[in-house]
């Protein structure tokens, strides 16, 4: 007689378990979808903000604020800066703006600053004359570096006349004259009418009352000035401090 065949037993899960697992799966699915949606929205927001900042006038230049100009007008500085209205602030070529403004002859120094949301500030320092040189086309202003930077129809007030053949920061005579003027003490400056030189070693200073001082080079100017102030207490029209250890007056 053949043995009876046993059927495989099948374990049937309760319906409640299936529903619970299905609910857990849907919950996990919703969390995953929500996270992906948040990530996508965040990415789109970053891309959109970056595009607006870098490629639209949203944070573009709406104002160019000029500070420190005295003789130059604000419009002259803005024209030299050549900043296009609406240009994205973060993409501005600050070095280029600096160099264009610094190329103005009267500008000694310039700082360029970005200021959100849409302002560029230009801080200007203009050149200050230490003297003026009379040439056929007018009076050339020379600053403390020896640069010839402007021409006026009349002599600049409050500074001495500089007698130079070709004023330039590369000219030895100009450097010597400017070197002397820069280091003159305040007590002596009001008496200085003219400073001249043909080389770097033959500076001559003319004072009020037709008094003439042979200065020599710009070396030891503070010491020479101190010696001269003592000598000016004596009568005379010609003074020599080119060798401050052996000064003379006549």
Residues 6+ apart with CB under 8 A from 194: 160, 161, 162, 163, 205, 206
What pLDDT, on the 0 to 100 scale, is given for residue 90? Answer: 83
pTM (predicted TM-score): 0.74
Indicate whether 131 pLDDT > 60.
yes
Strand partners, 248: 240
What pLDDT, on the 0 to 100 scale, is given for residue 206? Answer: 98
Write the pLDDT tens digit of every residue in 77-99: 999 999 999 888 888 999 999 99
Contact 93, 122 (CB under 8 A): no
- Which DSSP string corresponds to 133-201? EEETTEEEEEETT--EEEEESSPPTTS-EEE-SS--TT-HHHHHHHHHHHH--TTTGGGEEEEE-SSSS
Say what the alpha-carbon torsion angle 224, 229, 230, 235 is, to the nearest 10 degrees: 120
Contact 61, 119 (CB under 8 A): yes
* CA 171 centroid distance within chain: 26
Contact 128, 157 (CB under 8 A): no
Indicate whether 48 pLDDT > 70.
no
Contact 59, 117 (CB under 8 A): yes
């Amino acid at each position: 007689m053949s043995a009876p065949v046993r059927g495989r037993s099948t374990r049937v899960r309760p319906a409640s378990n299936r529903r619970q697992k299905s609910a857990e799966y849907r919950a996990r699915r919703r969390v995953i979808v929500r996270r992906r949606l948040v990530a996508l929205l965040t990415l789109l927001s970053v891309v959109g903000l970056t595009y607006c900042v870098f490629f639209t006038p949203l944070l573009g230049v709406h104002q160019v604020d000029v500070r420190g100009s005295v003789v130059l007008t604000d419009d002259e500085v803005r024209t030299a800066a050549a900043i296009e209205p609406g240009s994205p602030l973060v993409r501005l070529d600050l070095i280029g703006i600096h160099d264009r403004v610094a190329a103005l002859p009267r500008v000694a120094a310039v700082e360029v600053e970005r200021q959100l949301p849409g302002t560029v500030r230009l801080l200007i320092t203009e050149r200050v004359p230490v003297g003026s040189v009379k040439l056929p086309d007018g009076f050339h202003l020379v600053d403390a570096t020896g640069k010839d930077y402007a021409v006026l129809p009349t002599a600049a007030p409050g500074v001495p006349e500089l007698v130079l053949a070709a004023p330039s920061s590369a000219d030895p005579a100009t450097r010597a004259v400017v070197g002397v003027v820069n280091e003159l003490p305040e007590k002596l400056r009001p008496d200085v009418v003219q400073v001249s030189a043909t080389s770097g070693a033959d500076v001559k200073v003319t004072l009020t009352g037709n008094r003439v001082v042979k200065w020599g080079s710009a070396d030891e100017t503070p010491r020479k000035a101190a010696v001269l102030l003592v000598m000016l207490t004596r009568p005379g029209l010609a003074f020599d401090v080119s060798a401050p250890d052996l000064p003379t007056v006549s």
